[in-house]
Amino acid sequence: MKISRFVPPARVLLGPGPSDVPARVLLAMAQPTIGHLDPAFINMMEEIKALLQYAFRTDNSLTLPISAPGSAGMEASLANLVEPGDKVIVCRNGVFGARMADIVGRIGGTPVLVDNAFGEAVDPDKLADALKRHPDTKVVAFVHAETSTGVLSDAKTLAEVAHRAGALVLTDTVTAVGGVPVETDAWGLDAVYAGTQKCLSCPPGLSPMTLNERAMDKVKGRREKPRTWFLDFNLLMGYWGTGKRVYHHTAPINLLYALHEALVMLQEEGLEASFARHRQNHERLVKGLEGLGLEMAVPAAIRLPQLNSVLVPAGVDEARVRADLLAWFGIEIGAGLGELAGKVWRIGLMGQGSNRRNVALCIDGLRAALAAQGYHP
Amino acid sequence: MKISRFVPPARVLLGPGPSDVPARVLLAMAQPTIGHLDPAFINMMEEIKALLQYAFRTDNSLTLPISAPGSAGMEASLANLVEPGDKVIVCRNGVFGARMADIVGRIGGTPVLVDNAFGEAVDPDKLADALKRHPDTKVVAFVHAETSTGVLSDAKTLAEVAHRAGALVLTDTVTAVGGVPVETDAWGLDAVYAGTQKCLSCPPGLSPMTLNERAMDKVKGRREKPRTWFLDFNLLMGYWGTGKRVYHHTAPINLLYALHEALVMLQEEGLEASFARHRQNHERLVKGLEGLGLEMAVPAAIRLPQLNSVLVPAGVDEARVRADLLAWFGIEIGAGLGELAGKVWRIGLMGQGSNRRNVALCIDGLRAALAAQGYHP
């Protein structure tokens, strides 16, 4: 089998992630690899930590990128915070909550699912009720921005409810960070993890995270080691810490160049400006979709500006629309996941991909793909 | 804190890894990110699997890169193959064997350490004795090429010994693959994992692995799920399999571009030619080191051509030599690890970095750095 160079086709990534990566970030990543113990690299690690503190709005000293994608960040947080026998309330309102519950079971915890309908936000009252029924809950976990549905939950209120019951709060901000406010310190989120390939405009493969003192105390006070060596925070702290570094694994050097540059871009624009831009282009997109006679799947109050679920109109073959967009324009949009499979499209305007050019292109492309099926506004 | 673009210093990576990454691979990685469900990407995944089968010399259908560095490959193999209560013999002759034992304990297995001196190869007789004392051993794990010492063990014989006792064989080939023969099928290695940042000349962040039918049967027959979701082979098979793909995590797209190109380069050169080149430049290096009056730390018969441990001469400050090499020439060589800390340097000639230019540069650099401390051949 003779295999030759791979050349990716030209794409515009308007799905649930990865999002388009700016040339600046791609070129930063293509700089020559250096050693992970090189003084210059260690200095860059410090800068990444500071830039992530900015992105997460936190002063937590344990703020670092896990050397694997966002789902490893989910596993890392749970595997470290949850001890065998611990009860963990997982608020489920989409695909990613279900995944959390699976992980809790594997590491010996007891998951308690608090279910909200697919496409609804997590209900703080349901969480409060569950905490009353399970007062021995150690950790409450929820997804801030559900990528499978395009729904934003009220992390601040959920954290308050959990803290009143004495539980730690673990928040998935994979799709949130950089696109909507994530106030780690102000909201008292105890453990937060994210991904790089959504609103940070960086290739996938890293999971930024942050833990506050309360969470660190739980990790340090564990009765037994986490059931993972690769994701053990005590070991990762030794590798990323400010004292003498202890070799753990080989960090993904070039991906970290990319993350550094993507975070420099975020800092240059400013978080508030980034949030406003996501909001503004979201509004433009909704207007354009409504102009096509399409309906949003999620109520305005809980819509994610960076991930837009749109109802597939009756009589339209949703997969063919996606295929035509890809073939004719190179546009990738997302299919529905789980209960929403076949019922919605998911249109991402994430990170640098949230711009007017992409809104215009998306609306125009959809118009053409729908017209090909005899659908007209 | 104002942080601006990171520009890595010019380096020549002659340490234990990462090794220098060719411009071809860096540029492949810098191509625009596409979606992980894109038909073009899925086709590239198939090509990577075929190229890895070539590198591992195997027909195993489960041959894929884990989306995290080599140490995650170690954890993945153990977490899937070992069930709670399983006895695992870990042959330890360096730092990485010790790490395996730590992981076995975390996932509920019972590690039995078979110790060989730091800097020696794993002794098949010691393994045979241990298997007699522990006939209920389920898995035998060892490191083929110990990066901490520069020693090659006889994987073929070790596998024979383990199989005679009915145990599965798990082999760490992080530093081996591409540099010395790894005959997965011919030697009957049941599970093999590797890294990308050594003799494959790719940035760190991925761990290629392969499992044969025997190993897969063990994984499929588990009584309980692995204690990891992110590294669960049953789920990874769904994502990388040939049937309808099931979303698991978001693959590190751009790192996979890099791995694809690095493997295309390996295929172009051919494995045998690559092994011969590593051998030849190793011999040139040894000659040059002996010309400087330096002694190799490892007997010729078990030396790794790609990683050369050299004894630090009496009276020489080894850390200063490394610092001077870095400051004057941009050359990175490695320090000793574990018991060999302070006693040896580790000089890597790995992947595309194994070339005459680097041998000449290394010898010349060492001559200058040693002369600065009053040491002359």
Strands A331-332 and A110-115: unpaired
Confidence of residue A271 (pLDDT cuts 50, 70, 90): very high
Q: Does residue A58 register a pLDDT over 80?
A: yes
Residue B202 token pair: 């790719």
Q: CB distance A204–B27 less than 8 Å? A: no
**Could you tell me if the ipTM is greater than 0.95?**
yes
> How many Cα atoms occupy the beta-carbon half-sphere of B261 within 13 Å?
24
What is the C-alpha to C-alpha distance for residues A60 and B122, in angstroms, rounded to an integer? 44
Confidence of residue B96 (pLDDT cuts 50, 70, 90): confident
Q: Taking residues A145-158, what's their average pLDDT?
A: 96
Q: Does residue B363 register a pLDDT over 90?
A: yes
Q: What's the whole-model pTM score? A: 0.98
For A15-35, what is each residue's pLDDT tens digit? Answer: 999 999 999 999 999 999 999
Q: CB distance A67–B68 less than 8 Å? A: yes
CA distance A164 to chain B (A): 30
To the nearest whole percent, how much of chain A has pLDDT over 70? Answer: 100
Q: Does residue B316 register a pLDDT over 70?
A: yes
What is the C-alpha to C-alpha distance for residues B311 and B297, in angstroms, rounded to an integer? 5
- Chain B residues in contact with A75 by the CB 8 A cut-off are 228-230
- Chain A residues in contact with B31 by the CB 8 A cut-off are 6-8, 26
Neighbours of A27 (CB within 10 A): 16
Which secondary structure element, helix H or strand E, spans residue B103, and what is its range? helix B95-106
**Chain A residue closest in CA terms to B1:** A50
Crossing angle for the helix pair A253-269 and B253-269, to the nearest 10 degrees: 150
Q: Does residue B1 register a pLDDT over 70?
A: no
Q: CB distance A67–B205 less than 8 Å? A: yes
Neighbours of A85 (CB within 10 A): 11
Q: Taking residues B220-245, what's their average pLDDT?
A: 91
Confidence of residue B243 (pLDDT cuts 50, 70, 90): confident
DSSP state of B221: T
What is the C-alpha to C-alpha distance for residues A115 and A100, in angstroms, rounded to an integer? 13
Neighbours of A322 (CB within 10 A): 18
**Confidence at residue A1, expressed as pLDDT on a 0 to 100 scale:** 63
Residue B171: closest CA among B199, B211, B132, B137 = B211
β-pair partners for B140: B89, B169
Measure CA A358 to chain center: 21
For A86-136, what is each residue's pLDDT tens digit? Answer: 999 999 999 888 899 999 999 999 999 999 999 999 999 999 999 999 999
Q: A335: alpha, beta or left, given left = phi > 0 and alpha = psi -120 to 50?
A: beta
- Chain A residues in contact with B11 by the CB 8 A cut-off are 32, 34-35, 38
**Confidence at residue B310, expressed as pLDDT on a 0 to 100 scale:** 98
To the nearest whole percent, how much of chain B has pLDDT over 90? Answer: 95
Q: Does residue A305 register a pLDDT over 90?
A: yes
Confidence of residue B98 (pLDDT cuts 50, 70, 90): confident
φ, ψ at A266 (rounded to 5°): -65, -40
φ, ψ at A111 (rounded to 5°): -80, 140
For B43-89, what is each residue's pLDDT tens digit? Answer: 999 999 999 999 999 999 999 999 999 999 999 999 999 999 999 99
CA distance B165 to chain A (A): 28
Best of B2, B103, B228, B329 to mutate (most A CBs within 10 Å, chain A)? B228
Q: CB distance B252–A255 less than 8 Å? A: yes
**Confidence at residue A168, expressed as pLDDT on a 0 to 100 scale:** 98
- Chain B residues in contact with A258 by the CB 8 A cut-off are 254
CA distance A152 to chain B (A): 21
Residue B269: closest CA among B352, B195, B186, B173 = B352
DSSP state of B224: S
The residue assigned the tokens 């989409």 is A94
Average pLDDT of chain B? 96
Q: Is the separation of the CB atoms in A165 and A45 below 8 Å?
A: no
Residue B187 token pair: 């030697």
CA distance B45 to chain A (A): 11
- Written as one letter, the residue type at B114 is V
What is the C-alpha to C-alpha distance for residues B97 and B77, in angstroms, rounded to an integer? 14
For A170-216, what is each residue's pLDDT tens digit? Answer: 999 999 999 999 999 999 999 999 999 999 999 999 999 999 999 99
What are the angstrom distances between the C-alpha of B351 and each of A224, A297, A320, B305, B345?
A: 40, 52, 45, 11, 19
Q: CB distance B72–A68 less than 8 Å? A: yes
Helix (H, G, I), strand (E, B) or coil at A152: strand
Q: CB distance A203–B253 less than 8 Å? A: yes
Q: CB distance A254–B257 less than 8 Å? A: no
Residue B47: closest CA among B318, B270, B263 = B263
Q: Taking residues A233-245, what's their average pLDDT?
A: 87
To the nearest whole percent, how much of chain A has pLDDT over 90? Answer: 95
For B183-227, what is each residue's pLDDT tens digit? Answer: 999 999 999 999 999 999 999 999 999 999 999 999 999 999 999
Can you list the domains of chain B with their CATH numbers?
A: 12-16+270-371 (3.90.1150.10), 23-267 (3.40.640.10)
Average pLDDT of chain A? 96
Q: Taking residues B169-173, what's their average pLDDT?
A: 98
CA distance B164 to chain A (A): 31
Q: Does residue A243 register a pLDDT over 80?
A: no
**Confidence at residue B247, expressed as pLDDT on a 0 to 100 scale:** 87
**Confidence at residue B245, expressed as pLDDT on a 0 to 100 scale:** 83
Q: Does residue B161 register a pLDDT over 70?
A: yes
Nearest CB among B17, B31, B250 relative to A204 is that of B250
